[in-house]
Amino acid sequence: MNNKALVILNVLILLILLLMIYNFYEINKLSEVKEDYHRELSYIKEDTKKLNERLNSYILETELNSKVPVKNEITKSETVKEKISESNNKSEQSSTGNSDSDKKTDSSVKDIPAENIMKYTVKSGDTLEKISMKQYKSRAGIDLIMKINNLKSKSDIKIGQVLNIPEKLE
Give yes or no: residues 15 and 82 share one domain: no
Percent of the chain with pLDDT over 70: 71
Give yes or no: residues 129 and 161 share one domain: yes
Task: State yes or no: pLDDT of 3 exceeds 80.
Answer: yes
Give yes or no: residues 45 and 115 share one domain: no
The residue from 66, 91, 116 where one domain ends is 66
The residue from 46, 66, 86 where one domain ends is 66
Res 8: pLDDT: 93
Give yes or no: residues 131 and 100 share one domain: yes
Give yes or no: residues 86 and 52 share one domain: no
Give yes or no: residues 34 and 89 share one domain: no
**Mean pLDDT in residue range 61-67:** 73
Give yes or no: residues 79 and 47 share one domain: no
pTM of the model: 0.38
The residue from 21, 38, 66 where one domain ends is 66
Give yes or no: residues 80 and 161 share one domain: yes
Residue 104 belongs to domain with CATH number: 3.10.350.10
Number of domains observed in the structure of the chain: 2
Give yes or no: residues 156 and 83 share one domain: yes
Q: pLDDT confidence of 39, banded at 50, 70, 90? A: very high
Query: Which structural domain range is residue 138 located in?
Result: 73-166
Residue among 114, 123, 116 at smallest CA distance from 75: 114
